[in-house]
């Protein structure tokens, strides 16, 4: 497991670093027109952003995988956190020609680590947007039962085969490497989500059909740990 992990990390780090080094070398050595220069700088910028995101994910994972991970429980304010992340996803929805719905019933509350729970929402929504083609929709639904808060992220996207579902929570697992590469995915998002949900004594379910969309349902007990 550990050897695989190191190999995977090295591979994921190598690609952007190679590109950053190559393009900056060319910039240093050759004269070129303004437009080409700008293109090269944009590539360097994008690849360093990718690298930064990857390093952040790795640090998050390693802190979550500690034997006694730190979970700072506070009363989690869904309204506040959703207000924080909403504008970004609305912009993404416009860019991608998708409709974004938020459905929240009443004042749902849980005891949770705010940053971690926000990460769960962001990772699930990012996937829903990334894996749903133009014209589709993404719905974030928050409600509660007597004992649990339920977070549901539903999309009308490409979905996935039944036998793949159990693998998507593995680190670095991607169904379609080529496509994930375009969207900058490294396959860590759901591994992080799963750890966070488990650290909160919750569980996560996936319903999906190829071409028929995907729904992730996270349940978190009200009183936390
Ligand atoms: N809503 C979804 N619809 C279809 N496939 C999905 C969905 N969410 C996840 N997947 C599949 O599960 C894989 C793993 O998801 P995960 O979020 O862990 O990684 P990623 O999105 O590829 O990269 P990142 O580390 O940037 O999140 C994805 O590559 C994708 O193939
Ligand atoms: Mg993802």
Write out pLDDT tens, residues 49-107. 999 999 999 999 999 988 888 888 999 989 999 999 999 999 999 999 999 999 998 88
CATH number of 2-64: 1.10.287.130, 3.40.50.2000, 3.40.50.620, 3.30.450.20?
1.10.287.130
pLDDT at 177: 63
Task: Provide the CATH number for the domain formed by 73-221 in this structure.
Answer: 3.30.565.10
| Spacing, Cα 187 to ligand 2 middle (Å) | 6
Q: Are 197 and 204 in contact (CB under 8 A)?
A: yes
Ligand that comes closest to the CA of residue 128: 1
Each residue of 127-174: pLDDT tens digit?
A: 999 999 999 999 999 999 999 999 999 999 999 999 999 899 999 888
Task: Locate 142 and state its tokens.
Answer: 């928050």
* Ligand 1 touching residue 186 (CB < 6 A): yes
Q: Would you list the domain boundaries of the chain? A: 2-64, 73-221
């Amino acid at each position: 497991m550990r050897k695989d992990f190191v190999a995977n990390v090295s591979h994921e780090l190598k690609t952007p670093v190679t590109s950053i080094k190559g393009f900056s070398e060319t910039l240093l050595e050759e004269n070129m027109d303004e437009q080409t220069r700008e293109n090269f700088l944009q590539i360097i910028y994008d690849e360093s952003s990718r690298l930064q995101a990857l390093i952040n994910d790795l640090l998050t994972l390693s802190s979550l995988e500690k034997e006694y991970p730190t979970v700072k429980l506070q009363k989690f304010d869904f309204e506040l956190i959703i207000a924080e992340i909403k504008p970004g996803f609305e912009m993404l929805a416009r860019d991608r020609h998708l409709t974004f719905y938020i459905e929240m019933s009443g004042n749902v509350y849980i005891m949770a680590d705010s940053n971690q729970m926000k990460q769960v929402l962001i990772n699930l929504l990012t996937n829903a947007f990334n894996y749903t083609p133009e014209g589709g929709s993404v719905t974030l639904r928050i409600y509660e039962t007597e004992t649990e808060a339920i977070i549901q992220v539903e999309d009308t996207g490409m979905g996935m085969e039944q036998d793949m579902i159990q693998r998507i929570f593995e680190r670095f697992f991607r169904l379609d490497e080529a496509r994930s590469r375009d969207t900058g995915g490294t396959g860590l998002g759901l591994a992080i989500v799963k750890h966070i949900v488990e650290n909160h004594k919750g569980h996560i379910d996936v319903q999906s059909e190829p071409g028929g969309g995907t729904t992730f349902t996270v349940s978190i007990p009200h009183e936390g740990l």
